[in-house]
Structure 1
């Protein structure tokens, strides 16, 4: 059963309408995910503000997208995999690199440490292995980055769960190799 669907501008409350307008003016479109999250202007507004804060944190854009893409892969979210693949490519990843991130074979050891730790946080319900944590710190990341990685995983999981409970189309180019996604 799909509980959520994207709101039209007319269906949204005043606050969500304003957020929708700001998103559309910033990125040129209102993604179906955000139109769905607008069911709660507090959720959408808070999500966007926290995301913007974290995007100005410890990680580069490529590192941020690595975390989001890895989290979305583990959570089997076709929408977010497609979105973060597209955004990752806008930030310099090749198609092959996005696929490598998703299967933990990216040649860059720093990115591989990120995707491994992010994935373990999801799979092991917040209790990653000592190896994943040690590898993360050995790659030069600090405790602030670790805390922010946890937050990015949490924010991405929110969007993954909205999609899983929503009835909406993927409005990004569909990512490759999603036929084997495990859907819970």
Structure 2
């Protein structure tokens, strides 16, 4: 007989997290107007939230728009409704329209350079880094560099961590809910 143990996750309040995380909550509230539930969930770890935000906000060779395309397609591949919902909002803030966001969720873009990035990001995510030579060649043919490739992999790792956290915890989505494809 198999026994399943399920841990219920609630979103911790400011009073339930460490003083370091309370300060980060205040900063997030000032910058965003609220503390996203997934960030609050990271605060179960006394060091996790600062560590994650430092990693997420580190300099990269990818533009904000490219990062959002990667975040969205990786979240789609990993089936994370929280991150799909968040990155649809952030994608719009970074200049994508509804159709472009739908295309990215479907693993493509009308822009050739962005298309190579989105296809490679989906391929890396789907195949745990064992990508097709064709997608890698196309990525470089569109003008991306080895630096961009390393930064792409780091961006995928950033988003995958958040996808896994939400897929495991199922905390409430506090962004307009992404429609199923």
Check conservation: 1:3, 1:165, Cα contact below 8 A. Answer: no
- Residue 165 (1) aligns with residue 168 (2): yes
| Larger Rg belongs to | 2
Q: How many residues align?
A: 176
Structure 1 ranges of 4+ moved more than 4 A = none
| 1:48-85 Cα distance to aligned partner (Å, 9 max, x none) | 111111xx321111100000101000000010001011
Q: Unmatched 5+ residue regions in structure 1?
A: none
Aligned alpha-carbon RMSD (Å) = 1.3
Correspondence for 2:72: 69
Equivalent of 1:7 in 12, 23, 35: 12
2:106 alignment partner in structure 1: 103
1:29 equivalent to 2:73? Answer no
The answer to whether the aligner puts 1:94 opposite 2:97 as a matched pair is yes
Single out whichever of 160-169 and 66-75 deviates more from structure 2.
160-169
Give the alignment's TM-score, normalised by structure 2: 0.92
Q: Which of 103, 110, 115 is matched with 2:118 structurally?
A: 115
Structure 2 Cα separation of the partners of residues 3 and 126 of structure 1: 32
Q: What residue number does 1:52 align with? A: 57
Which structure would you say has the larger RCO, counting Cα contacts within 8 Å and 6 or more residues apart? 1
Unaligned segments of structure 2, at least 5 residues = 1-5
